[in-house]
């Protein structure tokens, strides 16, 4: 502590420091580790999987911290989220433009797809019904060529 209060410069409580990035947060070691590991894989991974991946890579980051980091990155648009059919949230680094995914049920291979027509259609239909502030979720699930080839012999 500063022994007694410095009478000369009480220092303004706030308003003097300018956050370099309004909602950026700090680039801590843990966040950087999470951000880095997100570049090392292709498909969508759950927070827990990311946590395990980090541990395997030698980076020890708390599970709660991984959740928080991914959450923040998702809000910032740095990663995309996808809710699996079982309800689990998964994350993946991807482009910031609005798009959807074509995911293989078997191996998880993902293809980013765009559908301007769909976007427009969603807007139009919504407005026709008086809805505003519209957003939508669209995910396509299927079996990719490779997995389909393998499964043909099964059963």
Partner DNA sequence: GATGAAATGAGAATCGTTGTCAACTTGGCT
Partner DNA sequence: AGCCAAGTTGACAACGATTCTCATTTCATC
Letters for 2-21 (x = contact with DNA by CB under 7 A, - = none) are x-x-x--x-xx-x-xx--x-
By CB under 8 A, how many residues form the interface with a copy of itself? Answer: 37
Q: Which of residues 31-70 bind a copy of itself (CB under 8 A)?
A: none
Hey, how many other C-beta atoms are within 10 angstroms of the C-beta on 119?
A: 16
Q: 66, exposed or middle or buried, with CB in 10 Å at 0-12, 13-18, 19+? A: buried
Bridge partners of 80, per DSSP, are: 92
Q: Does 73 bind DNA (CB under 7 A)?
A: no
Binding window for DNA (CB under 7 A); candidates: 65-73, 104-112, 121-129, 145-153? 65-73
CB 54 within 8 A of CB 38: no
Cβ-based nearer residue to a copy of itself, 5 or 32: 5
């Amino acid at each position: 502590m500063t022994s007694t209060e410095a009478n000369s410069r009480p220092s303004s409580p706030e308003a003097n420091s300018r956050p370099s990035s309004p909602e950026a947060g700090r680039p801590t070691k843990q966040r950087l580790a999470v951000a880095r590991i997100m570049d090392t894989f292709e498909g969508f991974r759950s927070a827990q999987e990311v946590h395990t991946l980090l541990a395997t890579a030698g980076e020890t980051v708390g599970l709660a911290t991984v959740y928080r980091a991914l959450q923040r990155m998702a809000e910032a648009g740095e990663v995309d989220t996808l809710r699996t059919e079982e309800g689990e949230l998964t994350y993946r680094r991807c482009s910031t433009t609005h798009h959807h995914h074509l995911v293989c049920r078997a191996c998880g291979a993902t293809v980013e797809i765009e559908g301007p027509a769909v976007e427009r259609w969603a807007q139009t239909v919504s407005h026709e019904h008086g809805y505003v502030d519209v957003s939508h979720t669209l995910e396509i699930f299927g079996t990719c060529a490779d997995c389909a080839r393998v499964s043909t012999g099964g059963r």
